[in-house]
Amino acid sequence: MTQAKNSSPSMAKTALGQAGPLVSRMGLGTMTFGAETDEEESFRQLDLFVDQGGTFLDTADVYGGGTSEEIIGKWGRRRGGMGELVLATKGRFAPPPGSHGASRRAIVRSVDASLKRLQVEAIDVYFIHGWDRHTDVAESLATLDDLVSAGKIHNIAWSNVCGWQIQKIVSTARAQRYPVPVAVQPQYNLLDRGIELEVLPCCLEEGMSLTPWSPLGGGWLTGKYTADARPTGATRLGEDPDRGVEAYDLRNTSRTHAVLETLRSIASDHGRPPAHVALAWLGSRPGVASILLGARTAEQLADNLAARDLVLATPELEALTKVSSPGLPAYPYGFLEDWSQLDVWKTLGT
């Protein structure tokens, strides 16, 4: 058994929230593990990520039906432990029969099951994977507080929530002296900036970080999809063109292709692939702590990790922000901007 290695210092790190751990600016999302990527190839990705200085691993109990966590656990045991790595997982969508996803019974059992699969004593960042309308958020927070006190998790976070839900979580946590989330994990990329209306301003106001998923818009921002040819073959959209919020027909719009045109132009100026520019733009956004990279192969991961040293000039960032702007609804947002002098959306270029 080999000893855990120290990560290369080549990747910058940022704290999650006001009191969370330091994480690498690029994280490894492992939704493909055990589903689209077998164990051997998953090990290759994990080895590559750590060798390149990555420290933030993100998984969930539903990825591969638990196989993603099992693969990470086997890999960690093989290398002698997780060392300085920051390990995040999620629970909510695989509750035990008879329980709602964010209830006390479900969270306790989910955490214990994840610890066993990951072969660790504690989870560094535990995300509630989505809102549970059947469970009072105070019950979820009280349970998470107990698990922090028991040493089973170190920090809490939420994923896939809207602005009022985040505020309810934070307000309840502060009022009852429960742990406050250090991060929120939303979809965020040049093609989907909807979180800028409420989620991102709320996170900035409350001192929480973002760890965005789908930074390349389901593959659109790599430039491999075109307006006149539905994708086919061994890609996510090729295998499932109707893939949720990333569906081909949903994204195949004039706005998307205007963004891609600007993206390709800037990428050409830098001698880089469009994906690097898209990742550099996202990494520059306020509140973004770590971008989650998901890949099927180590080669794909290596291509994306190579974007970490790209810094875009201010005019380039402004051009991308302008062309991808979703626009601000006149009410209440435009009204608040004009009559209450709120400048957050102007600052974000929404």
Active site residues: 63
Q: What's the rounded Cα separation, in Å, for the pair 301 and 230?
A: 24
Instruction: Kindly list the strands in the beta sheet with 209-210, ordered across the sheet, starting from the edge strand earlier in the chain.
Output: 209-210, 183-185, 153-159, 123-128, 86-91, 56-58, 26-29, 291-293
288, β-bridge pairs: 210
Q: Is 207 left (phi over 0), alpha (psi -120 to 50) or beta?
A: left
Helix (H) or strand (E) holding 14: strand 13-15
Which of 187, 118, 115 has the alpha carbon at shortest distance from 151? 115
Which of 91, 148, 157 has the alpha carbon at shortest distance from 118? 91
Beta strand segments in 203-273, E: 209-210
What is the full DSSP assignment across 19-86? TS-EEESEEEE-TTBTTTB-HHHHHHHHHHHHHTT--EEE--TTGGGGHHHHHHHHHHHHTTS-TT-E
What is the full DSSP assignment across 151-175? TSEEEEEEES--HHHHHHHHHHHHH
Q: Is 41 left (phi over 0), alpha (psi -120 to 50) or beta?
A: alpha
Beta strand segments in 92-213, E: 123-128, 153-159, 183-185, 209-210
Q: What's the rounded Cα separation, in Å, for the pair 7 and 54?
A: 7
What is the full DSSP assignment across 250-264? HH-SHHHHHHHHHHH
